[in-house]
């Protein structure tokens, strides 16, 4: 982005947009504008990569400071779905260089979406107005908001910097930026049918039971009930 410096009267020292920026700005969707986040529009629930929900017992009538609590909870649902999808990754299969290993690549593939989720969560709680600090007066104790706001801003600054560094390491060792493997919550990946792992939508792929809202489903096997966790 571009930083504009102001004089003591609030006027831009350089009103011209120079020098030119050699890339296009990312477009922020309306959903991300509502959440204060980036990259979540494709991960709204329901989503076949994720459980029916991550945040339970959402009360749509609850009102927060700058957004409803149900809106914030649904934004968190999308964040967690994006992280789960991002952390569902392949292992190995790349010709890595400069000391890169499959373990290092896996660590980075897991940690980057984990950090991105932390940044989005911090930005969303700022957008919600839940950590706006009103400095204490006199002997007043520092409020929860005043204690949390610097933590939240540190998360955004520190973890964004670490994301960029980790993406650079992936590039340096010759790894692809991501190594995603799609997970379908109605596919039995333990099936003997190898078609499931290469083409989950194939008609020959054995379908498993769809997950319930509580993340569990009852299935019959050998005449006995077994609990099966669904994602």
Nearest to 124 by CA among 166, 76, 165, 160: 76
**Cβ burial 160-188 (10 Å sphere, 16+ → b, else e):** eeebeebeeebeebebeeebbeeebbebb
pLDDT of residue 92: 93
pLDDT of residue 199: 52
* Count of beta carbons in the 10 Å neighbourhood of residue 139: 5
More confident residue, 37 or 4: 37
Q: What is the mean predicted confidence (pLDDT) over 119-147?
A: 93
Average pLDDT score, the chain: 82
pLDDT of residue 20: 86
Q: Give yes or no for residue 83 having a pLDDT over 70.
A: yes
State how far the Cα of 84 lies from the Cα of 189, in Å rounded to an integer.
17
Query: What's the pLDDT band for 176 if we cut at 50, 70, 90?
Result: very high
pLDDT of residue 207: 41
Q: Give yes or no for residue 203 having a pLDDT over 50.
A: no
**Cβ burial 78-117 (10 Å sphere, 16+ → b, else e):** bbbbbbbbbebbeeeebebeeebeeeebbebbeebbebbb
pLDDT of residue 185: 57
Give 179-200 pLDDT, tens digit per residue.
988 776 555 544 444 444 455 4
Give the containing element (helix H, strand E) for 152: helix 144-172
pLDDT of residue 67: 78
State how far the Cα of 75 lies from the Cα of 118, in Å rounded to an integer.
13
State how far the Cα of 155 lies from the Cα of 6, in Å rounded to an integer.
27
Q: Give yes or no for residue 225 having a pLDDT over 50.
A: no
Query: What's the pLDDT band for 64 if we cut at 50, 70, 90?
Result: low
Q: Give yes or no for residue 32 having a pLDDT over 50.
A: yes
Give 152-163 pLDDT, tens digit per residue.
999 999 999 999
Give 34-49 pLDDT, tens digit per residue.
999 999 999 999 999 9
State how far the Cα of 87 lies from the Cα of 89, in Å rounded to an integer.
6
């Amino acid at each position: 982005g571009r930083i504009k410096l102001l004089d003591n009267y609030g006027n831009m020292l350089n009103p011209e947009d120079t020098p030119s920026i050699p890339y296009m700005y990312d477009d922020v969707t309306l959903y991300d504008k509502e959440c204060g986040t980036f990259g979540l529009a494709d991960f709204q629930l329901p989503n076949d990569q994720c459980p029916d929900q991550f945040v339970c017992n959402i009360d749509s009538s609850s009102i927060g400071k700058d957004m409803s609590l149900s809106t914030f909870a649904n934004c968190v649902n999308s964040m967690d779905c994006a992280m789960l999808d991002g952390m569902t990754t392949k292992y190995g299969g790349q010709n890595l260089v400069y000391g890169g290993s499959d373990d290092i690549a896996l660590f980075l593939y897991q940690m980057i979406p984990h950090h991105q989720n932390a940044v989005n969560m911090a930005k969303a709680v700022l957008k919600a107005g839940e950590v706006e600090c009103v400095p204490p007066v006199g002997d007043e104790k520092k409020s929860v908001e005043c204690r949390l706001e610097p933590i939240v801003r540190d998360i955004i600054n520190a973890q964004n910097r670490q994301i960029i560094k980790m993406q650079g390491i992936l590039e340096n060792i010759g790894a692809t930026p991501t190594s995603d493997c799609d997970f379908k919550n109605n596919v039995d990946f333990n099936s003997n049918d190898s078609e499931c792992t290469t083409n989950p939508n194939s008609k020959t792929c054995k379908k498993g039971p769809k997950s319930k809202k509580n993340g569990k489903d009852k299935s019959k096997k050998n005449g006995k009930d077994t609990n099966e966790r669904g994602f």
